[in-house]
Structure 1
Amino acid sequence: MSEQVLSEQVLSEQVVSEHGVTGVAAEDGVPQGEQLALAGLPAPRRRRPRTAGPVVAAATRAVARVHVDVVPAHLDRTFEYVVPQSMDDDARPGCRVKVRFAGREVDGYLLERTDEPEHDGELAPLRRVVSPVAVLAPEVLRLARAVADRYAGTLGDVLRLAVPPRHARVEAEMIAVGAAGQEPAGRARPGGPGGPAGPDPVPDPVPTGRDHVPTGRDPAPGPSAWAALRGGRAFLDHLAAGRSPRAVWTALPGPPGQDWPAAVAEAVAATTRSGRGSVVVVPDARDLDRLAAALTAGGVPPWAPGADGGFVRLEADAGPAPRYRAFLAALTGSAQVVVGTRAAAWAPVADLGLVVCWDDADDLHSEPRSPYPHVREVLVARAEQAGCAALLGGHTRTTEAQQLVDLTWARPLQPERSVVRERTARVRALTSVELAREGAAAAARLPAPAWRTARDALASGPVLVQVPRAGYLPVVACARCRAVARCRACSGPLALGAADAVPQCTWCGTLAGAWRCTECGSTALRSVRVGSDRTAEELGRAFPGVPVRVSGAGSATGVLARVESRPALVVATPGAEPVAEGGYAAALLLDAAVSTARASLRVGEEALHRWMTAAALVRPASAGGTVVLVGDAAPAPTQALVRWDPVGFAERELAERRSLDLPPAVRVAAVTGTRDAVTAFLARVRVPAGGTVLGPVAVDAPETAGAPGSLDSPVRALVRVPLAAGGELAATLAASASVRSARREGGTVRVQVDPKEML
């Protein structure tokens, strides 16, 4: 055994001996410290747990294995406690408990109860059972452990994401109506009583033009939202028959009843008819509202207390009480369908048959808390464990989803080109080449062709104007020498919040009323980037008499959910575009060059996602819908938008990344922190065969003290390994983090597997 492992084991044993409990760490499937018996010899005599004090232990299964909610990574394991006889009935696997740990009372989850302890010494008793409700379902525990292992995190960090905080009043109400405090009612699976069925691939597509023969499994009368996709109806038939297809779905714009909420509702309804549950995760509350309306229209009603079946909404914005009520409804099997944002991916749905992730390219699906899992990866792991169907959908296709298709884990669901032309708007890119004939007017932020498009479209409906930046003037520069105006306190960029506002630093907030350029001494400022508020002001002058509405998190009206069909100019930042009744007559995508100008591995993918999300809200070309992209953006995403070909773009992007050994073709982990701490951390990491360590190099972090190159300035190192060695990489990173925690090393270290950025 190496000196490193011995050191970690000794430190762990010291911590355990101080607490009066023992850790159960497994190696090759055998708990450490277990005395094995040779074949043919009698089994060892059963040992009763010894308690530290006058506590009468339960008659049977008196040893409780508890996950203690503590932060240190080296304590990421279970600990043994004695179950007092007085708690025998309430101490159920999965319930919340209070235990004594390191001299203080902490929270924990009771994972299992056994007859014999692994520890030979005295065990401390459980302090109390917080609630007899088993909130940690076995399948959620397995999923949480798998996600923690994949992202080199701890089980405690993942469980904080998976299980909502307890709400005692709601729990009492649910128990009163018989919806909590009992085991979930199982439902028979059409595939047989022998457990979850294995995944089935999506069958061969139904030939276009062939009449579909109605069956008893048809989702609903009338046109189906899946009829325009190759293999779409076959996918629904498999769900209704109780099978488990996996698909990556490229959605098209469509009227109500044929848009993406209606398609998801049909898939959920088909799964419900097979007697199974569903989990659907969407980026934000606006998408959730649209999906809830489609589910209600599709025959899946909202769940109500005391009812059996229907869907619940699991979202943090709803507040603690509604969120916990929805969680308990899913836990006990009262609600068969759970829809929501990130937290819904962990919902304990009984007899799970389908998991859906809509728009996996949206940044909101990335968890900002450790260990930073992505909803797509959580649902993929859940589909693997449960053997259920999986559907990853969006108007664009991410490279991660394309890789699942290339690995044959999922089959593609995408429309024919004739259907694409019929359902999408006409797209025109106004690049400098296109605008050459305009002369000096080509440099205008709103060129004449874009102005004419907006003027003509306003005669028949609203016009969407997408601006990549929020605010008024988010970046300003010297009017004479064009140097970017920066704060004297922290060197952050200055911005203007209004026409008569004082320049203010966007990093530290310091006002710069007496700003003077350090290059030429000028005090005049000019705009470098124009935000949504300034754009709305300019459009109001260019189109007098036309209402102008602004949608964005920083605007006075906030993010708008819907707008009426009457003529208006709607200025929105990416992700804040409201839905228009009947669709927008046109969309102007301004400052396209800004969307692809920054250095990022995903810059083209993100730009195409933003543009197509906005373009999907526009009427089809047959109804006069037009999308105008203004600016010299990167050629690849520009052409993909003009052709409406997100699949081809994802295929080319993935092929290029494979040739360059870039994610997702390889597994990458980013280790960020102070230089000494990162160096010590990497020294313990055993890089798998074929892997490389890049760095560490200094990174920009204006909020961190320390001049560049100093010992306390942040650095980052990238560990890159083949895809097959991803599990080995996560294990060695977790081991190094455990040693760092046990030794209480100084400095800061942040480990992130599959970081969003590596450039």
Structure 2
Amino acid sequence: MPPNPAEPPEERDAALPGLARAAARTGGAVARARRAKQAAPVEPAAVDPVARVVLDVPLAHLDRPFDYAVPAPMAEAARPGVRVKVRFAGQDVDGYVVARVAESDHGGRLTPLRRVVSAEPVLSAEVAALCDAVAERYAGAASDVRRLAVPPRHATTEKQPTGPEPPLPAGLDAAEAWAGYPAAEPFLRHLRDGGAPRGVWGAAPGEDWPLLLAHLAAAALAAGRGSVLCLPDHKDVARLDDALRELLGEGHHVVLGAAAGPAARYRDFLAVSRGDRRIAIGTRSAAFAPVRDLGLVVVWDDGDDLHAEPRAPYPHTREVLLLRSEATGAAALVGGFARTVEADQLLRSGWAHEIEAPRAELRERVLVAVTGASEMDFRRDPLTAAARMPRQVFDAVRWGLEHGPVLVQTPRAGYALRLACDRCREPARCAACTGPLQIPGPTDPPRCRWCATEAPGWTCGECGGHGLRAPVVGNLRTSDELGRTFPKVPVVTSSADRVRDRVGPEPRIVVATPGAEPVAEGGFAVVVLLDSWLVLGRDAMRVGEEALRRWCNAVGLVRPGGRALAVGDPAAPALQALVRWDPAGFAAREAEERRTANLPPAARIATITGDAGAVDDALTLLALPEGGDVLGPLPEGEEERVVVRVPRRDGPALSAALGELQRVRSARKLEPVRIQVDPSEI
């Protein structure tokens, strides 16, 4: 009984110990009753009374199945693939049943399952094995991969049935759609016959690639097989979604992605998991879609860094799909306007075959030219309008506007992103914090990019000058310049803050940053690529490959018979490859240079990042394969990073050694480190 506030304080204080003892007795009785209930024997299931459960625990040393007893009331619901709650280390933990077996290797008494969260099997055996393979490949925990593969549950959606798949429309002819690529005919024939062809496809400029991919998925579906098609971003997904809907009609495919919301995402996932839809498209997570009878996997534009998962264990979509292709015997296609060195490696090893248009067809598709000064001239004076947009640019834009819309690609968003003294070229700095100055808009005064302090009366500290120039300008400044030159033509911009998906066929100028280029109805008449020196000036291993990929994607939007003009150094290898439309040759040369320098894909690498002590502990515990070496450590902010490199043939051994390192580190509760296998940049 609670103490009476009217009682004297000393009497209430005397009563408190007794109350505490009573409360302790009550709590102890409840705890004993709970333990007695848990310890009470449960009637096991008559058939396969042992469930093997993988836990949703991000600890590497616990990344394995655990055996639990299946109570008789749960015998029917506790099927492989369902979500369950189990008791582990004194807590209720989420998990998935991955198997039901008759006996356990565990010698003691098994803890029973707490409850079956849902009777819906959402983790198929194939996807569970794929998660394990990806975790092993990237030295991570399979529980982290399963979070990428299975979306969160939406109970209301789970109760709703999924409609049946409608019949395929008649008259589909994938061979006719792919007639421009002679090597596609045997690929399609093997796909229809249930084989597993593998190809690397170089799309021609102006190609309607979503329609061709839709025909591939339709050919697989006609053969009774499913497809998974992964693309970098929502714009590409939307284009393929439209193409599939136009070709097959409604009800044959689903779009898997978080943008649709939890309910719609889970509904589409269940439609695939239940076998009611057999074509799944989307971004990174769609690579794990539980498609029944999988017969085709496709990754488009595999060089885009959006295909690299930013969460541990950092898998790449291309590698996930290739692992899945080998495990399931599905056909595989790596496609894009450009070609990565990894795709070139697939061809060199004989794993895949090339699918390309004839050279004569490529020459007729687009005419690419280069104009402008050399890179050294740009570095001397990159500020003059004549160097950045010479007369040939305005001539090309003028010609293009007579035939349709014009695309101008500039690598930076904004207005004047960097300022310098117009007399001595010294970078303009803020007087308050020494940050770089920029001009946000055409009527705005100079402003610090760090502290936002305005500097209308700026003075150069080196020469005393007051004039400012813009070494680097963005899409807004470019649109202003073009708008003044062509005052009667609408000029629109597309960048990260506002991405335009489509524009009409009317004459207009579209100024876009890489990746934000819209699709023009009928294609662009002319594509202009500005500031190539800026794209090629980055200090990165893939700078040439990435620059060519961005340019090829822009030129790929041109209409057949259109033109493209790049402003830059004609001697730059990436621009030469663009003029010849030879991304395959450029990738082959890049691969050879990397082989000479012992860089990926000729070698397998991994980075280990963390505090200095944690990195040192990790290197001490790492059993590096023979022939491997360690580069570093190098400072990375407040942390350190080392690069571990082994020959390509020892890649699986490196992944195994790093996985063992993760398990030992987790079991010993050592300081964390971040391990990335085959990062896109070193």
TM-score by length of 2: 0.88
Count how many residue pairs are aligned between Structure 1 and Structure 2: 638
1:691: how far off? 1.0
Matched, 1:271 2:195: no
Distance 1:664 1:489, change over 3 A: farther
Quick one: which amino acid aligns to residue 698 of structure 1? P
Give 1:540's aligned residue. Answer: 483
Q: Aligned pair in 2 of structure 1 residues 634, 133: CA closer, same or farther (>3 Å)?
A: farther
The answer to which of 587-596 and 102-111 deviates more is 102-111
Q: State the partner residue of 1:37.
A: none
Determine helix, strand or coil for the equivalent of 1:686.
coil
Alignment check: 8 A CA contact 2:433 2:451 kept: no
The reply on whether 1:232 has 2:184 as its aligned counterpart is: yes
Question: Structure 1 residue 462 and structure 2 residue 415: aligned?
Answer: no
Residue aligning to 2:663 = 738
Q: Partner of 2:298: helix, strand, or coil?
A: strand
1:104-143 pair list within 5 angstroms: 104-143=91-130
Looking at structure 2, the residues matched to 593 and 633 of structure 1 have their Cα atoms a distance apart, in angstroms, of 11
Deviations 1:541-598 (A, max 9, x none): 22212111011112xxx11111111111101000111111121111110100011101
Q: What corresponds to 1:323 in structure 2?
A: 265
Structure 1: gaps of 5 or more residues: 1-49, 180-216, 304-309, 702-712
> Counterpart in 1 of 2:452?
511
> 1:637-676 maps to which residues of 2 (within 5 A)?
637-676=574-613
- Give RMSD over aligned pairs: 2.8
Distance verdict in 2 for CA 1:616–1:427, change over 3 Å: farther
* 1:301 aligned partner: 249
Q: CA deviation at 1:651?
A: 1.0
State the 1:104 CA deviation. Answer: 2.5
State how far apart, in whole Å, the 2-side matches of 1:125 and 1:504 are: 65
CA change 1:313–1:441 in 2 (3 A) is: closer
Q: How does 1:122-201 map to 2 (within 5 A)?
A: 122-174=109-161
Q: In 2, are the aligned partners of 1:52 and 1:125 still within 8 Å (CA)? A: no
What SS class does the counterpart of residue 425 from structure 1 fall into?
strand
Is 412-421 or 235-244 further displaced after alignment?
A: 235-244
Cα shift at 1:475: 2.9
Distance 1:128 1:511, change over 3 A: same
Q: Is residue 52 of structure 2 the alignment partner of residue 65 of structure 1?
A: yes
Shift in Å, 1:140: 0.4
Change (3 A) 1:442 1:490: closer
Identity %: 51
* Mean Cα deviation higher: 121-130 or 270-279: 121-130
**Aligned match of 2:10:** none
Would the alpha carbon gap of residues 240 and 489 (structure 1) be closer, same or farther in structure 2, given more than 3 Å must change? farther
2:354 is aligned to 412
* 8 Å contact kept, 2:373–2:387: no
Deviations 1:591-646 (A, max 9, x none): 0001110111100000000001111111233xxx2211112377110100000111
- The amino acid of 1:739's aligned partner reads V
Q: CA deviation at 1:667?
A: 0.5
Amino acid corresponding to residue 674 of structure 2 in structure 1: R
* Alignment pair present for 1:82 and 2:69: yes
Cα offset, 1:283, TM superposition: 1.5
CA distance in 1, matches of 2:99, 2:576: 56
Give the conservation status (yes or no) of the 8 Å contact 2:555–2:564. yes
CA distance in structure 1 between the partners assigned to 2:430 and 2:121 by the alignment: 54
Matches within 5 A, 1:418-429: 418-429=360-371
- Aligned-partner SS, 2:416: coil
Q: 1:493 to 1:735 in 2, by over 3 A?
A: farther
Distance in structure 1 (CA, Å) of the matches to 2:348 and 2:96:
40
SS across alignment from 1:131? coil
Q: 2:201 aligns with which of 237, 249, 255?
A: 249
How far apart are 1:291 and its partner, in Å? 1.5
| Structure whose alpha-carbon radius of gyration is higher | 2
| CA displacement at 1:719 relative to structure 2 | 0.4
- Pick closer, same or farther for the CA change 1:153–1:485 going to 2, 3 Å: farther
Q: What secondary structure is seen at the aligned counterpart in 2 of 1:132?
A: coil
For the residues of structure 2 that align with 1:366 and 1:404, how far apart are their CA atoms? 19
Residue 219 of structure 2 aligns to which amino acid in structure 1? A
With over 3 angstroms needed to count, the CA separation of the structure-2 counterparts of 1:483 and 1:542, relative to structure 1, is same
Decide whether the 8 Å contact of 2:211 with 2:240 is kept in 1: yes
Does residue 220 (structure 1) correspond to residue 157 (structure 2)? The answer is no
Name the SS for the 1:751 alignment partner.
strand
Distance 1:680 1:517, change over 3 A: farther
Instruction: Give the helix-richer structure, 1 or 2.
Output: 2
Aligned to 2:233: 284
Structure 2 partner of 1:594: 534
SS in 2 for 1:696: strand
Letter in 2 for 1:137: S
Q: Distance in 2 between matches of 1:668 and 1:259?
A: 36
- CA distance in 2 between counterparts of 1:178 and 1:81 reads 36
How many angstroms does 1:218 deviate by?
Answer: 8.5
Native 8 Å contact 1:596 1:633 kept in 2 = no
8 Å contact kept, 2:419–2:428: yes
Residue identity in the other structure for 1:132: A
Contact residue 448 and residue 454 of structure 2 kept, 8 A? no
- 1:327-342 mapped onto 2 (5 Å cutoff): 327-342=269-284
Given residue 242 of structure 2, which amino acid in structure 1 is its aligned partner? A
Residues 252 and 688 of structure 1, relative CA distance in 2, 3 Å threshold: same
Normalised TM-score (structure 1): 0.79
Measure, in 2, the Cα distance between the counterparts of 1:270 and 1:434: 52
Residue 128 of structure 1, CA deviation: 1.3
State whether structure 2 residue 674 is matched by structure 1 residue 726.
Answer: no
**What is the rounded CA distance, in whole Å, between the counterparts of 2:245 and 2:509 in structure 1?**
32
Q: Which amino acid is 2:341 matched to?
A: T
Distance in structure 2 (CA, Å) of the matches to 1:302 and 1:490: 58
Instruction: Name 2:512's counterpart in structure 1.
Output: 572
Question: What is the aligned counterpart of 2:345 among 394, 403, 421?
Answer: 403
Verify the 8 A CA contact 1:66 1:78 in the aligned structure 2.
yes
